[in-house]
Amino acid sequence: MGNRYRNEQKYLLNKSDVAILKMRLDAMMEKDPHVRDGTSYLIRSVYFDDPNNSCLHEKEDGVFFPKKVENQNI
């Protein structure tokens, strides 16, 4: 299956930038199958993984148990 990476970052964009970016991305990327209304969905949790993507592989194998990470005031 090869290496897969996921990285999310947040940016402030104006409406015209959003339209241009959406048009460019629609032409080259597959849409997330979890989007139901065509625009977005609520994210309730954030998970962090190690450089080997151990949590991702455990989840794909059906043995994913989220590990609690204490707030380190990062």
**Tokens standing for residue 48:** 């962090």
Is-contact 4 52, C-beta < 8 A?
A: no
The reported pTM is 0.36
pLDDT value of position 32 = 79
- Band the pLDDT of 67: cuts 50, 70, 90: low
Q: What is the mean pLDDT of the chain?
A: 76
Instruction: Give the integer Cα–Cα distance in Å for 65 and 57.
Output: 11
Q: pLDDT tens, 7-38?
A: 677 778 899 998 998 899 889 988 777 777 76
Q: Looking at residue 10, what is its pLDDT? A: 76
